[in-house]
Amino acid sequence: MRSLCNRSMAASTLKVPAADGFVKPGFEHVQDVFRQTIEEGIERGGSFAAYFQGELVVNLWGGFADEEARRPWKYNTASVFYSTTKSPSAVVIGHLVDRGYLDYEQPISRYWPEYGQNGKEKTTLKQLLSLKSGVPVLSDPFKLSLIRDDPQQLESILAQQTPWKMGDEFYAYSPVAIGLYLDQIVRKVDPLKRNLSQYFQEEIAKPFVEPLIGETSELSSCNRVNSLIHDPDFMELPVGSTHGVGSAEGMAKLHGILANGGLLRGQCLLSAQTLKLMQTPLSMGTEKHFGQEMFYSYGMTLLPVLEGNEVKYNFGHGGFGGQFAASDVQHKTGWAYVTNYLDPTIMVTGNCKWQKLEEALFKCVQKVKGINLPRKHILSARDLQNTLKSSL
């Protein structure tokens, strides 16, 4: 095991705390790239972690958790995942599908009759998860606190929505609303009537990844990333699309389990069939809400990768400002990146700080496995189609 040395930070300066953490032998290149991002000021506070074949092989952190308070990022610093939270939420739905409580192909109104109004009668769970429900946002202002204070009123608001448009060619990214809909669906079918957050904590976090992914209330006892979270009461709302909290290690562990066949110590998190579906493209091209080029499956963002002559689909989700987590089933590798310094230009530039780290990680994975194949991300539906044609 190779460790980084801690460096003290002079109280009178704003020198960014040095990179810290560890990597397993064979993954030193990831450590070097992470250290460089800290030293060059590309990253001022963040963490990167990875699991390979069920083992933690990278766990790095550095910079500030709270620059104003001069608090360095530590091994147990908790951060908000933003929309990367959608990945664990998709796992919750898959978990319920595997247990027979939900079916991706069935109309949502089968589980929630009130949903079936204003043109949504035949909308399936599959369409909702693939961003084709036609309701990426709600039509009128509402208080997000209703999810905690009056879920019945929120249920009524959600059920009454009228879709923008529906059809296989129309899909629109949903920043928040999709998590609210999934929460209501979980409440309807779970025998214990838990909300999505409670279900995740009790059925997934505790047996598989606790305490590395937690509830937002845990921020008060962790090193709160104050520059990221301005309203603790707001952040404690159990919103399954944006409000997940934890460490890069925890999110990497979850995605490492998914990448390793959904198994941990003999326990099955998700079935092979459900994991295969999560790697299946359902929506691609330019979505109609923000105009982003995206690939989407059953609640997951897909990262199409050309490795050698084979196209594969890594799955996970990104989050506002640069967070990301993903699973690579072929290499049994799960990774996650969290940052305290959000870059809102990413949607325009596509320049994510995690890209060089992910590239370094898979160079190491290939080297450890004794292979050497060219590997690149496919960034658009057109490029994907051209790549698939050329491989025939």
**The pLDDT of residue 237:** 66
CATH code of 20-391, in short, is: 3.40.710.10
pTM (whole model) above 0.85: yes
Helices (H), the chain: 28-39, 86-98, 125-129, 146-149, 151-159, 177-189, 196-199, 232-235, 248-259, 272-278, 346-349, 354-369, 381-390
Q: State residue 257's pLDDT score.
A: 98
Which of 35-39, 75-79, 134-138, 152-156 has the least mean pLDDT? 75-79
What average pLDDT score do residues 90-106 get? 98
Task: Note the pLDDT tens digit of each residue in 251-309.
Answer: 999 999 999 999 998 899 999 999 999 999 999 999 999 888 999 999 999 999 999 99
User: What does the pLDDT read at residue 156?
Assistant: 96
Q: What mean pLDDT is reported for the chain?
A: 87
Q: Is it the case that residue 210 has pLDDT exceeding 70?
A: yes
* Domain ranges, ordered by start, for the chain: 20-391
